[in-house]
Amino acid sequence: MASERGSKSAWSTAAVVVGIVAVGIVVAGLLDDPQPDAVAIPGCDEVIQPEDMQRINYAFVGDDSAPTGFDATTMSDALIQALPAGTTVNPDPMFPPLTFDVDATAHGTISLGGAAGDLTVMLSTSDQPVGPCFAGYVDERRTLGDGTAVDTTFGETKSRVRVYAPDGSRVDASADSVLTVQQLTDIAMAPGLRAGQRN
């Protein structure tokens, strides 16, 4: 009987030890919970990670303002001239397409190479620095020799290019896949769309 009790006691002790070790492993795992891998964005020195966006309050978009004192007709003409060769601006019964309004926004539907899609261009000015890149909103940043920064977001059906010029101009262009990213970049980079130099 003593041998049987000793055997049961040994098994009980072993079970308690195993339980303690298992609990320790779980607790250690909770305390050492691995963080998501940081997202790196080509060309960005500072990247705001998705988990950080919930804890900070950046308002770079709010720092932009519609340019004042610019000639909407001249800017609209500059936008049309910046379109790729062979582009057709489709008429709209509600408003003149690709014509800048009081909010310095131009929108319209264009056709190119048998495809049609929307194009939107927004102009603004800002005295704020370019700022960091936001993971999930910017896929690539290029900084040109003159200090111009070009942010690109690649989408399956719509892409976006935002140009930050040294004179404070901001050009935000987005388009359906009717335009390539390079064509959209060429539009956003058009000198005639720089609003800052007109202030």
Q: What single DSSP character describes residue 132? A: P
pLDDT for position 171: 96
Query: For residue 15, what pLDDT is reported?
Result: 46
pLDDT digits (tens, 9 = 90+) for 121-144: 999 999 999 999 999 899 999 999
| Beta carbons within 8 Å of 62's beta carbon, 6+ residues apart | none
DSSP line for 11-39: HHHHHHHHHHHHHHHHHHHHHTPPPPPPP
Res 54: pLDDT: 60
Is the pLDDT confidence value at 172 over 90? yes
Q: How confident is the model over 20-69, as pLDDT tens digits?
A: 444 444 334 434 444 567 889 999 999 999 877 665 554 444 456 667 66
| Residue 193: pLDDT over 90 | yes
pTM: 0.76
Characterize the bridge pairing of strands 158-164 and 169-176: antiparallel
Query: For residue 152, is pLDDT > 70?
Result: yes
Q: What is the DSSP pairing of strand 133-134 with strand 47-48?
A: parallel
Per-residue pLDDT, 62: 44
Q: Are 26 and 99 in contact (CB under 8 A)?
A: no
- How does pLDDT run across 56-109, given as a tens digit for each residue? 554 444 456 667 667 899 999 999 999 999 999 999 999 999 999 888 999 999
Q: How many CA atoms lie within 13 A of 130 on its CB side?
A: 24
